[in-house]
Amino acid sequence: MRTRLMVLPLLFLSAAAIAQNSQPQPATLVDTIPAARDIPYPGTMTLDVDATDVGRAIYRVKQVIPVAAPGAMTLLFPKWLPGKHAPRGEIEKLAGLKILAGGRLLPWRRDNLDVYAFHIDVPQGATQLDIAFEFIAATAGDQGRISVTPAMLNLQWEQVSLYPAGYFTRRIPVSATVRYPDGWQAASGLPARATGSTYRYETTDYETLVDSPVFAGKYFRQEQLSPRVRLNIVADEAKYLAATPEQIAAHRKLVDQSVKLFGAQHYDKYEFLLALTDEMGSIGLEHHRSSENGVNPEYFTEWTKGPGRRNLLPHEFTHSWNGKFRRPAGNWTADFNTPMNDDLLWVYEGQTQFWGYVLGARSGLFTRQETLDALASIAASLDIRRGRDWRPLRDTTNDPVISARRPKGWVSYQRSEDYYHEGMLVWLEVDTILRARSGGRKSMDDFARGFFGGKDGDWGIDTYDFADVVAALNAVVPYDWTGFLTTRLGENAGGAPLKGLTDAGYRLIYTDEPTAFFADAERRAKSLDLSYSIGLSTKNGAITQVIWDGPAFAAGLTVGSKIVAIGGRAYTDSGLKDAIRAARGSKAPIRLLVQSGDYFRSVDILWDGGLRYPRLEKIGAGTTTLDRLLEPRP
């Protein structure tokens, strides 16, 4: 009793002490950045970019912005970029900023709440701002994507320009000039006149400028794929430009099959920008009248070794219809500093992934078998992702903002941008429903023409929402599309949504030999993928992936560790595969020596299922629904 009585005064003293502590109130946050208005900007910006310093990867920028009145003004560096679905503007690479008016250097102040905004006071009598800065592009991978090399560059206008706040970007006129290294050639969706290596681009609006990046290079080739579409190729070395007539013909057929599918072209002209490189960073980014595509140098010269990255161009070309012309309402914003709503990326990217593989097959860029093998790999990778147990497909559309493609330790449990691949499987299931309920008369082709078609040559933007997607599906075949899509988007279910594959005539199976597609992917990645057997992937013994709840996971292995020995012998890829084969049907463990930092330990993996690789097996005989989907249109 005495102890309890002593505790009570202590409690009262503690409460009194808390009451006497300072207790702040939140500061008032005032947004001082003007909201964008749909009114014309008073004057045309000019932009002059010196892109000749490729050795140090530095762009030197001079920009003139007319001003109409004195007083407070805010300049913005683009932050939320179309196609990146997240605030990815590389503001950290802007350096040396100077703003002058009438020859007088003006002080600027970065916004305390939005570091992409710069505030200035325009003096009385000023008619323009003269701006200079450098954009310091990455020279090593830990600085970001490398976009400038001694042989090529990828100029993205949002990196080398500012724009005035308070206006829709489509209402801000701009005229740009770029000087490239001597002897280089450049291509962009924005027309230009070249005088030597200086390109003067057609005056346009700022929204269109940012949507019209440039590939330029020392080694350059251009091919006309159709009256309105060109393929522009830059390469690390001239030898990689050696595309055969048959290879170019497959790209021509891609354009032909795409136009036959959608029924209209939403561009006056379209420029494929294709970089064959190991030096410049990989990219796949859509634009209305062009696309940025980065693939391995041997894209053409090792064509027969496998399909490689040949799915990239069909995907990015499809985006001219899906993502650029028809765009989710949340993904169109009035300027480049307004946040986007990514909730329909399962349409924007998921259906584009669907059409990318379909058009790849219809054009001959992928063989039918390569397409089936690719679908098998995609389906299997999702089928073993335990992340589907807790995180629905809809939530993965937030991943561009959540993780910005940073590496993840347990991607099979955390999930990633699964709206690409899982979205594709959902749209494959939609195709089977359309065909089944129409007696084979209707398919996703009908949806594509109805939803993405429209007026030929219209390269404006037509936004949509979930209800529009449902209405368009019902216009093809009436069904409870709201219920179906809501279920697929929100379900937490073990295994991938494979009903579309099985209803299309194929089942996912596993064999002890990889498909040619799987082996080619391992070769290009220089890795060993054992995800479907012991549940890990390695690169020269370094563990790059561990599947959640798989055998390697159960043995305590993690990404970042390294396998140095197998059964007492030094690690080799073939040695690890031999050990898995030897353990098949046996109770003996697969014994590894693993290094984690400065520590070594023995690890026993319990797995007796041998090697397993995914592939699709036809259900029954004859032509299946999937076979018909992959056939080219006449």
pLDDT tens digit string along 346-362? 999 999 999 999 999 99
376 token code pair: 């098998």
Reply yes or no on whether the pLDDT at 15 is more than 80.
Answer: no
Q: What residues make up the domain containing 586?
A: 516-613
Percent share of the chain, pLDDT over 70: 97
Among 331, 335, 353, 354, residue whose Cα is nearest residue 344 = 331
Classify residue 51: in a domain, yes or no: yes
Side-chain half-sphere CA neighbours of 362 within 13 A: 25
- Distance separating the N- and C-terminal Cα atoms of the chain: 94
Reply yes or no on whether the pLDDT at 596 is more than 80.
Answer: yes
Reply yes or no on whether the pLDDT at 629 is more than 90.
Answer: yes
326 token code pair: 């028809």
pTM of the predicted protein model: 0.95
Burial tier of 196 (Cβ tally within 10 Å: 0-12, 13-18, 19+): exposed
* DSSP one-letter string for 306-365: --TTTTHHHHHHHTTTBTTTEEEGGG--SSTTSPP--TTHHHHTHHHHHHHHHHHHHHTS
- As a whole number, the mean pLDDT across the chain is 96
Q: Band of the pLDDT at 16, cuts 50, 70, 90?
A: low
Final residue in a domain of this structure, among 218, 242, 257: 218
Helices (H), 181-300: 206-210, 245-262
Kindly state the average pLDDT of the residues 579-604: 97
E strand spans, 422-485: 462-464
Query: Residue 17: its pLDDT value, please?
Result: 55
Kindly state the average pLDDT of the residues 614-634: 97
3-state secondary structure 614-634: EEEEECCCCCCHHHHHHCCCC
Kindly state the average pLDDT of the residues 473-498: 97
Query: Residue 77: its pLDDT value, please?
Result: 99
Classify residue 210: in a domain, yes or no: yes
* CA dihedral for 432, 434, 435, 437, sign (positive or negative): positive
Classify residue 142: in a domain, yes or no: yes
CATH number at residue 149: 2.60.40.3650
Q: What are phi and psi of 203, to 5 degrees?
A: -60, 135
Classify residue 370: in a domain, yes or no: no
**The total number of structural domains that make up the chain:** 2
CATH number at residue 604: 2.30.42.10
Kindly state the average pLDDT of the residues 567-582: 98
Kindly state the average pLDDT of the residues 573-600: 97
Final residue in a domain of this structure, among 186, 218, 250: 218
Query: Residue 494: its pLDDT value, please?
Result: 85
Residue holding tokens 């589907």?
388
Which segment of 1-10, 81-90, 215-224, 376-385 scores lowest on mean pLDDT? Answer: 1-10
Query: Residue 6: its pLDDT value, please?
Result: 47
Query: Residue 493: its pLDDT value, please?
Result: 87
Classify residue 427: in a domain, yes or no: no
Q: Band of the pLDDT at 106, cuts 50, 70, 90?
A: very high
Reply yes or no on whether the pLDDT at 4 is more than 70.
Answer: no
How far is the CA of 365 from the CAs of 103, 202, 343, in angstroms? 56, 34, 31
Kindly state the average pLDDT of the residues 282-291: 98
526 token code pair: 């220089």
Classify residue 306: in a domain, yes or no: no
d(CA 76, CA 336): 8
Classify residue 115: in a domain, yes or no: yes
Query: In this predicted model, what pLDDT tens digit does every residue of 143-171 receive, in sequence order?
Result: 999 999 999 999 999 999 999 999 999 99
Query: Residue 1: its pLDDT value, please?
Result: 44
Reply yes or no on whether the pLDDT at 7 is more than 60.
Answer: no
299 token code pair: 């894209």
Query: Residue 317: its pLDDT value, please?
Result: 99
The residue length of the chain stands at 634
59 within 8 A of 155, measured Cβ to Cβ: yes
89 token code pair: 């503007």
Classify residue 177: in a domain, yes or no: yes
Reply yes or no on whether the pLDDT at 8 is more than 70.
Answer: no
d(CA 365, CA 302): 13
Query: In sequence order, what are the beta bridge partners of 47?
Result: 63, 176
288 within 8 A of 319, measured Cβ to Cβ: no
